[in-house]
Amino acid sequence: MSWWNRLKAIFKSEASDVKEGLGKVGKSLDEELARKERELAATPEERIDMILEEQQAEDARFQELQDKVLGETAEADAVDEVAAKEPPAHETGV
Residue by residue, DSSP assigns 55-72 as HHHHHHHHHHHHHHHHTT
Neighbour count for residue 67 (Cβ, 10 Å): 13
Say whether 39 sits in a helix, a strand or coil.
Answer: helix
Return the pLDDT at 87. Answer: 64
Distance, in Å, from the CA atom of 83 to the CA atom of 94, rounded to the nearest integer, reads: 16
For the chain, what are the domain ranges?
1-41, 44-87
* Whole-prediction pTM: 0.47
| Cβ(67)–Cβ(73) below 8 Å | yes
pLDDT tens track of the chain, all 94 residues?
688 889 888 989 999 999 999 999 999 999 999 999 999 999 999 999 999 999 999 999 999 988 888 877 666 666 777 777 766 556 555 5
Return the pLDDT at 44. Answer: 93
